[in-house]
Amino acid sequence: MSMLINLETVHKPQTIDEAAALIERQGVYPLYGGGAYLLRAAINEAHSAVDMGAVVSAGFSSAGSVPWLGACATLETMGAFDEHFRLVVAAEAPLNLRNSLTLGDMLLETPSDSPLIALLMGLEARVVCYAHPSYSMEDWFRQGLLWRTQRTILRVELPGYNAGQVSIAFEKVARTPADRPIVAALAIWDRRYEQSLRVVALGMESHPVWYVEGMQSTLDDFKGSAEYRAAVMPHLVEMARAKVRA
């Protein structure tokens, strides 16, 4: 948080009602950790922020009927949730970033190339916010950053998720094996249901999307042209599908 040099005020509410009222104000941003999303999104006009650490969980629970992950949980913490999250978190960021980025940061930013966000989408996660209905990942993606910052994110729930029944596979193309993907495919298969195998495509649009045959890319940048992304994706999907069944 020391890198957010433009911050003039950091509120530290002790109740969830107080926190929610503060971040509904224009120009006040929530901090679900160190505020990494503000830096990554280059939001330089952030002069007032709300430290959510005292009112939002930094842990998780895999017990009970609905597993969940707290919005203040770091990526490294989420890696301890189960083997699937451990695999995806390792692909998301190096260790130093895994100890600073939080689930709240990732949900606010929703990067197009994020394996973690792709996994949450593939598991049909619900974003639970205070005093609002829960949102599917697709509904969450449709909103802009300002809208998302004015929601008090409590946790992500994974209704119906059973790690022992799910297989995942992740295939990517990147400049080096350690780099974030240019494009990637994350296949998810709940073995209880034969027809449940689905693939989330990364690097095709501004956020992860469900893969459909023949899809085109709306992203075109120095990492890869739209034509390149569309040409590579079917091969990644085929490899991910084969691996998840194996």
| pLDDT tens readout for residues 210-233 | 999 999 999 999 999 999 999 999
Q: Where are the alpha helices (DSSP H) in the chain?
A: 16-23, 36-40, 75-78, 83-92, 95-98, 103-109, 115-122, 137-141, 145-149, 226-245
| pLDDT tens readout for residues 136-176 | 999 999 999 989 999 999 999 999 899 999 999 999 999 98
Beta bridge partners, 200, equal 186, 210
Q: Where are the alpha helices (DSSP H) in 110-225?
A: 115-122, 137-141, 145-149
Q: Would you put residue 63 in left (φ > 0), alpha (ψ -120 to 50) or beta?
A: beta
Instruction: Looking at mean pLDDT, say which of 41-50, 60-69, 124-133 comes out highest.
Output: 124-133
What's CA 156's distance to the chain center, in Å?
Answer: 10
- The structural domains of the chain, ordered by start, are 9-157 (3.30.465.10), 163-245 (3.30.390.50)
Q: Which amino acid is at 88?
A: V
Closest listed residue to residue 82, CA positions, set 153, 167, 155, 159 = 167
Q: Which amino acid is at 225?
A: S
Tell me the mean pLDDT in the region 74-86.
95
Distance CA 176, CA 189 (A): 28
Average pLDDT, the chain: 92
Distance CA 78, CA 70 (A): 9
Could you tell me if 50 and 22 are in contact, meaning their C-beta atoms sit under 8 angstroms apart?
yes
Higher pLDDT residue, 92 or 42?
A: 92
Could you tell me if 137 and 117 are in contact, meaning their C-beta atoms sit under 8 angstroms apart?
yes
Question: What's the pLDDT band for 184 if we cut at 50, 70, 90?
Answer: very high
The bridge status of strand 48-51 relative to strand 28-31 is parallel
